């Protein structure tokens, strides 16, 4: 992704040693909604370059665990961080994360986004496809009552997707962090109280 070096959050991330400006989006959302807390197990989907994982690590503390996966390698050294290199749509990737955590997570984060084409309906469709995959996997990988945060591009199909989410989460909120670029189509879905697990976990 191209970063404007005059961007306030780009400069701030460099100064405060975050691996991406996106870290401030999660910091803002977590401060408002208290999504990630001490001792939690957190899965960071599409975690490269690692900014969200850094925020999650600070939030869970030493007794928590953050597992991140991405098709791109992430260089982040922390005793309670584990990285899996793999694709969002592959069983092996999810299974590896599940095995590391020895069970489901309290929080699933996804700042994953498709490589944009500039064709709005294609970009929105691909974004929704990625988010839908995360939610499909939540039946195994997210505890009952758990949280999920998804980045999604707004457009055709977004309203229907949001409606589907209300069937498996108690609360569904749309949030646009201050750190998001003004012209960006991205927004975030903050999902609380997962009800979709059927195994009593």
Domain ranges of the chain: 21-194
pLDDT digits (tens, 9 = 90+) for 51-65: 999 999 999 999 999
pLDDT at 163 over 70: yes
Quick one: three-class SS letters along 35-53? CCCCCCEEEEECCCCCHHH
Confidence class of residue 2 from pLDDT cuts 50, 70 and 90? very low
Question: 21-194, what's its fold?
Answer: Rossmann fold (3.40.50)
| Average pLDDT for 127-149 | 97
Integer Cα distance of 175 and 145 in angstroms: 20
Is a pLDDT exceeding 60 seen at residue 198? no
Q: Is the pLDDT of residue 20 over 80?
A: yes
Output the pLDDT for position 117: 86
For this structure, is 163 an active site residue?
Answer: no
pLDDT at position 26 over 80: yes
Lowest mean pLDDT among 7-11, 113-117, 149-153, 184-188: 7-11
Per-residue pLDDT at 27: 95
pLDDT band per the 50, 70, 90 thresholds, residue 4 = low
For residue 69, what are the contacts with CB-CB under 8 A and spacing of at least 6? 43, 44, 45, 46, 47, 83, 84, 85, 86, 88, 93, 96, 97
Strand, helix or coil for residue 172? strand
Looking at residue 62, the DSSP 8-state letter turns out to be: T
**Gap between the Cα atoms of 77 and 90, Å rounded:** 25
Selected catalytic residue, list 151, 166, 171, 173: 151
Q: What is the pTM of this model?
A: 0.92
Q: What is the pLDDT of residue 19?
A: 87
């Amino acid at each position: 992704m191209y970063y404007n070096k005059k961007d306030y959050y780009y400069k701030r991330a460099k100064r405060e040693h975050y691996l991406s400006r996106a870290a401030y989006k999660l910091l803002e959302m977590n401060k408002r909604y208290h999504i990630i807390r001490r001792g939690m197990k957190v899965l960071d989907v599409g975690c490269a370059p690692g900014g969200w994982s850094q925020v999650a690590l600070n939030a869970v503390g030493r007794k928590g665990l953050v597992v991140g996966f991405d098709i791109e390698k992430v260089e982040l050294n922390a005793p309670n961080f584990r990285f899996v290199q793999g694709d969002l749509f592959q069983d092996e990737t999810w299974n590896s994360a599940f095995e590391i955590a020895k069970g489901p997570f309290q929080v699933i984060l996804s700042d994953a986004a498709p490589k944009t084409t500039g064709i709005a309906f294609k970009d929105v469709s691909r974004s929704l496809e990625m988010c839908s995959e995360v939610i499909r996997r939540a039946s195994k990988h997210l505890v009952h009552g758990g949280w999920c945060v998804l980045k999604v591009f707004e457009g055709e199909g977004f309203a229907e997707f949001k409606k589907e989410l209300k069937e498996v989460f108690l609360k569904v909120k749309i949030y646009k962090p201050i750190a998001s670029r003004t012209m960006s189509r991205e927004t975030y879905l903050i999902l609380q109280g997962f009800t979709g697990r059927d195994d009593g976990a």
